[in-house]
Chains A and B, each alone.
Chain A
Amino acid sequence: MSAQAATAPPRSLTARGWFPALLGLALAIALAFLVLPVVAIFTHSSPSSLISSLNDPASTDALRLSIETSAIAVAVIVLVGTPSAYLLATREFPAKQLVVTLVELPLVLPPAVAGIGLLASFGPGGFLGPALRNAGIPLTLNTAAVVVALIFVAAPFYLRQGQAAFAALDSSWLEASRTLGAGEAKTFARVAVPAATPGLAAGLALAWGRALGEFGATLMFAGSFRGITQTAPLAIYGEFATDFDGALALSAILVAVSGALLLTVKFLVGSGAFGGAAR
């Protein structure tokens, strides 16, 4: 999607006419609607409640757990997702569209459905539950269960973006690399991944953001216990009932962390720090 470069230069905003005005109005409405709730979180929470929230051990435990579990989840997603996305982007095989659809399916699943699905597959009474218990890695109300839930909901974001990034590469580069004697594996590692890095990084940021925000599937599959399974969104939900200001403050911090993550990735990509081809 974002890998497709626009061929025509963007038009100036000052162009006259009713249609540009209509476009501008639509964007203004969309922007106001999308930005207002985020702005309200910050204008509603006082700086002092932000600081006291950072001093609340329950909040910091939740933030720490959120950052740790989402980082592990994203690492697993990148490790398995990058070659998967490369395969989907560069090969044709029977039922490929079906595979792509299945991989993207978790994107449109309601969190409650994801939670039920995880319970039915990996839960203690689920399909693989007894095998996991015998193997000594039960996914029952523990931190590992949180990571599994995060991977499930976040991986499609990376796979989707990664596939688009690899597909947008000029295939003659890859062929040139192979004709010059680099094997398939070397071409993947030395040519394809570096060239696709901006797109992969964008996918990583989206997946990480989604993982940081995960709520429903985590609650159903992993439960809620401070320091073990209570991630920041669960702590916000818990505090909402008794301490609205505390919930607002923790929300503000989570927004700041997620926003900083998106901006950092965009900045690094923009400055060419990944050494990738500029788009």
Chain B
Amino acid sequence: MSSRRSLALLAVITALAAIGCGSSGGGKPTLVVSAAASLKDAFDQYAQKFPQASVRASYAGSDELAAQIEQGVKPDLFASANTKFPHQLFQKGLVEKPVIFAGNRLVIAVRASGGKVTSLADLEKPGTTIAMGSPTVPVGTYTRQVLSGLPKADGAKVLANVRSNEPDVAGVIGKVAQGAVDAGFVYITDVDATDGKLKAVELPKSLQPQVAYGVAVVKGAKHPKQARQFINGLLHGAGRKALEAAGFEPPPGAGS
């Protein structure tokens, strides 16, 4: 490469980097939100109706996000698909007191057309293939809670059909939608978000775990004021509406 061409290349790279830096400005503070993968649609909607800050959200398994915070990562806000992780971080002095802001329902997701799974009992049949969350991610914990409510032999039959333990709920949805497995345990809101590509098979009421979402302001957050405003909106304002529109249930009664 001639030196003139490499200089030109360098100029292009510098210009691109400058554009990249410039676009993050714009006056408003940037609220960094770490949220459970299942909250993606609702939070993306809410972020557009949150005038106090531009929201930059990172969605992953709640367990991964909690581990990041333990390792010193400081988002402004942590929203988890359970109450356990925010509570643990609170006890370690890493986040402020968490509040419960939403509930959800665990269901079996199947493809909308031609599925062979129509009930929980179908998951025990040999040849049925299943994806679920890994034991560390909330959706996987809730799933194993459901299976422990079954007679032991039946629960074991379901587990024997598991083909993938996914790190977050998005992975489970992907495996079902791609036809890699017949069914997967996810939240009803995840099925709603697929716009009819997947449908939900409900679990028996007696086995339904209580799915509660906790949120907390991270200690040492850059924008604690906006973070609290964001939480207020989740409880009463535009966030509440976005959650309802995505199919989330109101926060279940008092919990930890």
Report A's interface with B, CB cutoff 8 A: 119, 123-125, 129, 140-141, 219-220, 223-226, 228-230, 237-238, 240-242, 244
CB neighbours of A123 from chain B (8 A): 178-180
Describe A's contact surface by its main secondary structure: loop
Q: What are 13 of the A-B contact pairs (CB < 8 Å)? A: A119-B178, A123-B179, A125-B178, A125-B179, A219-B167, A223-B163, A223-B166, A226-B165, A241-B61, A241-B66, A241-B136, A242-B63, A244-B70
Q: Do A141 and B180 form a contact, CB below 8 Å, given A225-B164, A242-B63, A244-B67?
A: yes
Q: B134 and A223: CB pair below 8 A? A: no
Asked if A237 and B167 sit within 8 Å, CB to CB, the answer is yes
Residues of A within 8 A of B180 (CB): 123-124, 140-141, 223
B residues within 8 A CB of A119?
Answer: 178
User: Which one of B134, B166, B174 has the greatest number of beta carbons of chain A within 10 Å?
Assistant: B134
Chain B interface main SS type: mixed
Decide if B137 is an interface residue (CB 8 Å cutoff): yes
B64 touches A219 (CB 8 A): no
Q: Which of B158-205 contact A (CB under 8 A)?
A: 162-167, 171, 174-175, 178-181
Residues from chain A with a CB closer than 8 A to the CB of B163 are 140-141, 223, 225, 228
Complex CA distance for A224 and B166, rounded to whole angstroms: 6
CB distance from A119 to the nearest CB of B (A): 5
Chain A: which residue is nearest B71 at the CB level?
A244
CB A233 to nearest CB in B, in angstroms, measures 12
Once bound together, how far apart are the Cα atoms of A129 and B179, in whole Å?
10
Asked if A141 meets B164 with Cβ closer than 8 Å, knowing A124-B179, A223-B180, A224-B134, the reply is yes
Q: Which residues of B contact A242 (CB under 8 A)?
A: 63, 67, 136
Q: Please, which residues of chain A bring their CB within 8 A of the CB of B38?
A: none
A-B CB proximity, top 7 nearest: A223-B164, A241-B63, A124-B179, A125-B179, A141-B163, A241-B67, A241-B136
Determine whether the beta carbon of A241 is less than 8 Å from that of B64. Answer: yes
Q: Which residue of A lies closest to B85 (CB)?
A: A241
Does B143 interact with chain A (Cβ within 8 Å)?
no
Q: Would B164 and A240 count as touching, CB distance under 8 A?
A: no
Chain B residues positioned under 8 Å from A124 (CB to CB): 178-180
Q: Roughly how many angstroms separate A240 CA and B67 CA in the complex, as a whole number? A: 7
B111: nearest chain-A partner, CB-CB: A125
Q: How far is the CA of A242 from the CA of B67 in the complex (A)?
A: 7
Q: How far is the CB of B240 from chain A (nearest CB, A)?
A: 29
Most chain A CB within a 10 A radius of its CB, from B61, B71, B175: B175
B164 CB contact (under 8 Å) in A125, A224, A237, A244? A224
Q: Is B131's CB within 8 Å of the partner chain A?
A: yes
